[in-house]
């Protein structure tokens, strides 16, 4: 191993982060295709299906900040490797689950491991590549996006021809490869600075706030917000207490000084809006394709054009943003996402997909490729290197929260519009195999209303990028200082 050059070790590290992060990202999407089969096998009901998906996403959102902070304290590569190993163990439990309760628990455990894995993969790239991290993050984005988009067709194939359990068990060889690449690609890195004690109260309050907010939005849409009104003031109280704790503790999990940096604050605000639009579109787009008559496997295959655009262009846009500044790309990219979402609203029948649907997806994909690498690089590079793990955790948390809230709210809008357009009882909006003309028209109207909100979120993200992103700061010409706290002794 001593004969490997620094460039070779960097490439091995990049490959490891791509493999490891792909595992976490694919498990967000692949389960969507498998949910009906899992429900049939384990008898979960609709609520159980929702929590199989949400328990994973919620654990990610609640622990992103913790994962970044622990990586900064104990070493990003070490925590990344531990996250990969933990993800593999949780995947075994998920694949062998005898009932829905165990599967939901396993999915939450996957989310815990995924939070440590993904935040430290980006921070590790920042530490290894330094000022050249834009292109590396672009490559990371390209290949992890391909894996994410490939998840639904791969999952559909496994569910249809093998077993739904293999969508989890197949993670094992990839996790092992990621660990091996990360170990072999170890570079000479400065020892991690231990910034005092871990902020356990802050972490607990953040997890409680995010959990209560998500619970209220998701369960409220199903059971009625009047029954679950209490979750919202409790969530607000927990998040308010989190802010108070973070301002008072000596070594906070989230240093608020970071938000004095213009690009850090703006990039994260934009991340919330744009990732809300992305996931709001993606989740219901996948369901809507099956409503139109495509099989789950076919619906997954229709994501391939998007993956090709990402492979071809994401790294290039990351490099261009490094060279010229990110503001243009963080304005035009989200705007194209919004336009593509609006164009897809013209798809009423299966045959419409081959005209308006393809055009909308191409615009959406171009905007995604233009935006995703620059927005991540801007959020990370605007923070001091010693805070890279925390900055990655903040950005990942914001993106996950945007997606959770958008999916819940857009689903609620689709349901409300559907119910207003039809008198049928127990009918499900944009349901697979729906044939009655009245129900189909109501489903299309509901889908359009939901996509209007997704497009509005994307356009709002474009406006934030245009007004707030500073190219001068991104190039290091205007960096406001962040107060540097002296690191505590290693044994504290």
Q: Tell me if the domain spanning 1-185 has CATH number 1.20.1250.20.
A: yes
* C-alpha–C-alpha distance, residues 167 and 117, integer Å: 19
| pLDDT value of position 483 | 47
* C-alpha–C-alpha distance, residues 388 and 127, integer Å: 8
- Helices 76-95 + 171-184 axis angle, to 10: 170
* C-alpha–C-alpha distance, residues 390 and 300, integer Å: 34
In sequence order, the 6+-apart residues with CB closer than 8 A to the CB of 281 are 337, 341, 344, 364, 451, 454
| CATH class for the region spanning 258-476 | mainly alpha
Mean pLDDT of 328-354: 93
What are 347-373's pLDDT values in tens digits?
998 899 999 989 999 999 999 989 888
Q: Residue 134 above 50 pLDDT? A: yes
What are 183-222's pLDDT values in tens digits?
887 875 544 554 445 667 777 787 788 778 777 776 776 6
Indicate where the chain has its CATH 1.20.1250.20 domain(s).
Answer: 1-185, 258-476
Confidence band, pLDDT 50/70/90 cuts, at residue 332: very high
30 in Cβ contact with 151 (< 8 Å): yes
What are 35-46's pLDDT values in tens digits?
767 766 886 645
Residue 476 falls in which region: left (phi positive, over 0), alpha (psi -120 to 50) or beta: left
- The residue among 24, 207, 29 whose CA lies nearest residue 118 is 24
The three-point CA angle 305-309-311 to 5° equals 115
């Amino acid at each position: 191993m001593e004969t490997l050059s620094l460039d070779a070790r960097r490439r091995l590290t990049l490959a490891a982060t791509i493999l490891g992060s792909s595992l976490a990202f694919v498990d967000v999407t692949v389960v969507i295709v498998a949910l009906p089969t899992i429900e049939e096998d384990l008898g979960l009901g609709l609520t159980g299906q929702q929590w199989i998906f949400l328990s994973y996403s919620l654990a990610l959102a609640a622990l992103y900040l913790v994962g970044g902070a622990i990586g900064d304290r104990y070493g990003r590569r070490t925590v990344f490797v531990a996250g990969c190993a933990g993800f593999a163990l949780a995947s075994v439990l998920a694949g062998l689950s005898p009932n829905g309760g165990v599967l939901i628990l396993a999915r939450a455990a996957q989310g815990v491991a995924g939070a440590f894995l993904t935040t430290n993969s980006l921070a590790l790239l920042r530490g290894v590549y330094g000022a050249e991290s834009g292109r590396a993050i672009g490559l990371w984005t390209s290949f992890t996006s391909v894996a994410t988009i490939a998840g639904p067709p791969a999952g559909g194939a496994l569910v249809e021809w093998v077993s739904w359990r293999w969508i989890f068990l197949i993670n094992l060889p990839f996790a092992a490869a990621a660990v091996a690449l990360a170990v072999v690609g170890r570079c000479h890195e400065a020892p991690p600075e231990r910034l005092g004690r871990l902020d356990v109260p802050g972490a607990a309050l953040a997890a409680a706030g995010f959990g209560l907010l998500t619970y209220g939005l998701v369960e409220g849409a199903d059971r009625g917000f009047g029954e679950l009104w209490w979750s919202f003031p409790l969530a607000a109280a927990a998040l308010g207490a989190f802010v108070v704790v973070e301002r008072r503790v000596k070594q906070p999990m989230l240093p608020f000084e970071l938000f004095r940096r213009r690009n850090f604050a703006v990039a994260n605000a934009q991340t919330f809006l744009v990732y809300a639009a992305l996931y709001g579109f993606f989740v219901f787009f996948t369901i809507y394709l099956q409503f139109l008559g495509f099989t789950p496997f076919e619906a997954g295959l229709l994501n391939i054009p998007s993956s090709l655009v990402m492979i071809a262009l994401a790294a290039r846009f990351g490099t261009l943003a490094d060279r010229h500044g990110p503001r243009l790309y963080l304005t035009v990219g989200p705007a194209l996402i919004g336009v593509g979402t609006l164009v897809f609203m013209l798809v009423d029948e299966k045959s419409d997909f081959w005209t308006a649907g393809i055009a909308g997806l191409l615009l959406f994909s171009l905007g995604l490729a233009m935006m995703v690498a620059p927005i991540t690089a801007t959020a990370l590079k605007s923070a001091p290197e010693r805070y890279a793990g925390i900055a990655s955790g903040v950005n990942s948390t914001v993106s996950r929260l945007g997606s959770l809230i958008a999916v819940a709210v857009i689903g609620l809008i689709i349901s409300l519009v559907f119910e207003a357009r039809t008198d049928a009882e127990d009918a499900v909006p944009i349901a697979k195999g729906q044939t009655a003309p009245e129900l189909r028209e109501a489903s299309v109207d509901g889908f359009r209303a939901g996509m209007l909100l997704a497009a509005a979120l994307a356009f709002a993200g474009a406006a934030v990028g245009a007004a707030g992103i500073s190219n001068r700061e991104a190039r290091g010409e205007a960096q406001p200082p962040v107060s540097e706290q002296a690191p505590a002794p290693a044994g504290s």
